[in-house]
Amino acid sequence: MTDSHTKTIAPGTVIGARYSVESLIGRGGMASVYRATDVPLNRSVALKVFTVDTEGAPGLGRESSEIRLLASLNHHALVTLFDATIDGEGDSFLVMELVEGPTLKERIDAGPIAEIDVAQMVVDLAEALHVVHGNDVVHRDVKPANILLNPSALTAIEFRAKLSDFGIAHLIDSTRLTTPGTIIGTAAYLSPEQARGAAPGSPADIYSLGLVALESLTGVRAFDGTMVESISARLVSDPPIPTTLGAAWVALLGRMTHRDPEARPTALEVVELARSIERDVYAAASGVSPSTLPLEGDVTQPVEGATRVLPVVADDATSVLPSASDGDATTVLPGAPVAAHPESAPRKRPAARRIVLAVAAVLVAITAGAFAWGAVAGGGDPEPTPEPTPLPVNEGVLGTHLDELLESVTP
C-alpha cells in the first residue's frame, strides 16, 4: 500500500490518474475523505481513500459487477457512487457525489432536531433502503456519520438527508480485510444478528435506521459505552424508547429495533408509517386535520386557496333556473339534488316564473283600477278602451307565460 493511507494526502496529489486532491474533509476508522476534482470532467467529488490494510486482497477492478450495480442505484436520498478501485497493490478508494453539508452526527451534536425533520428523514432514507434492498444490496453500516445533510429549499424542513457509503461495507468485506479487529459496521448501531457475527440482511439496515431515528429524536445514543458493552447490551435488551415521543413513534421504533429480524418491518412499510407520522406532525403544527392533507402523488391542491364547494341545497330550496341559451334547458347549481330520471320526476314551478306571474298580476290590477277610476271621474259611460301598447317581445319560457297571462286577462 502507498503511504497515502497512513497520513494526510497533500493537495494536488493525483489519485487513480484522474482525481486531484484539494483538501481533507474528514477521517474515519477505515478511510479518509477528501474534496477532489475529477480532472477530465472538471467536477468536484468526494474521494474516500481507505486507511485499512487491503494487502493480499483480491483486486476489485473498475469492471466489477458489484461496482456497476452500486453505481446504477439512483435515488435522491442516496449519495451517488461514481467510481471505485479496491486493490491491494495500489490506492484503494471510492469516488462519490460531493454533498455540501454536515453529517447527521454533527447535527445531533449541535442540538435537538425537530420532529418533522426526523420524520421526513426517515421517509427519505427508508425509500433509499427500499431501492437498494430491491437490488439485493445491504448497506451494513447505517449510522449518523454516514448520513449527509443538504439544506432544504422548503421553509418547513431544515434539511434533506442522503445516505452515503452505500455498499462500501459490502465491497470492503468482499476483499477479506486483514486488519485485526476490523468490524463491518459501527458497534453502536449494529443489529443483534450482526453483533452475533451472522451475515446481515436487509432487516439489519432497518434496525440501524431505527437507532438513528431514536437518537435524532432524543439526542441520546441508545447503546453507548465500549464496543463490548454496546454489543452485549443489544443481545439481551431492547433500546429504551421514551413514551413522551408519542404512541406512533413508540410503535414504529419498537418494531424497527425488534431483536428478531423477521419481526421488523420492511423498508417500504417504514416509509408508509413514517409518512403517516410526518402528516400528523405537520397537521398539528399547521392546525388542520390530517385527513385534509394531500397524500404523496395526489393532485389535490393545498387547503388554502382551494376551490370552495357550494353547500348542498335543501329539498324545499330552488335549485334550477331557466337557461338563457335554451328555453327548455336547465342549469343545475353545484350541490343541488338532481332526479335520477328527469323525464319522470315531478316538475316544480321555478321561482322566476312565480315572480313573473306575481308582477304581471300587479300590472293587471293597476290597469283595471285605472279603467275604473276613469269611468267614475267621467260621470258617464267609459270611453272606448284604447289599444294597449304592445309589450316587448320575449322569447322562450318567460315570453310564453306572459302571452298566456295577457290572453287570460284581456276583456
Name the band, by pLDDT with cuts 50, 70 and 90, for residue 314.
Answer: very low
The whole-number average pLDDT for the span 312-337 is 41
Name the band, by pLDDT with cuts 50, 70 and 90, for residue 395.
Answer: low
Judged by DSSP in three states, 40 sits in coil
Query: What span, in angstroms and rounded, lies between the C-alpha atoms of 139 and 292?
Result: 37
Q: H helices within 73-160, ranges in order?
A: 104-110, 115-133
Residue 207 has pLDDT above 90, yes or no: yes
Write out the residue limits of the CATH 1.10.510.10 domain(s) in the chain: 3-292
Report yes or no: 270 and 252 within 8 Å, Cβ to Cβ.
Answer: yes
Query: 102-112: per-residue pLDDT in tens?
Result: 999 999 999 99
Among 184, 147, 191, smallest CA distance to 165 is for 147
3-292 carries CATH number 1.10.510.10: yes
Query: What span, in angstroms and rounded, lies between the C-alpha atoms of 287 and 270?
Result: 25
Residue 277 has pLDDT above 70, yes or no: yes
Q: Which residues are catalytic?
A: 141
Q: What are phi and psi of 162, to 5 degrees?
A: -130, 130
Q: What is the pLDDT of residue 106?
A: 95
Residue 86, Ramachandran bin (φ over 0: left; ψ between -120 and 50: alpha; else beta): beta
DSSP-derived letter for residue 145 is G
Query: 148-206: per-residue pLDDT in tens?
Result: 999 888 887 899 999 987 656 555 555 444 444 445 567 899 999 988 888 889 999 99
Q: Using a pLDDT cut of 90, give the percent of the chain over it.
A: 39
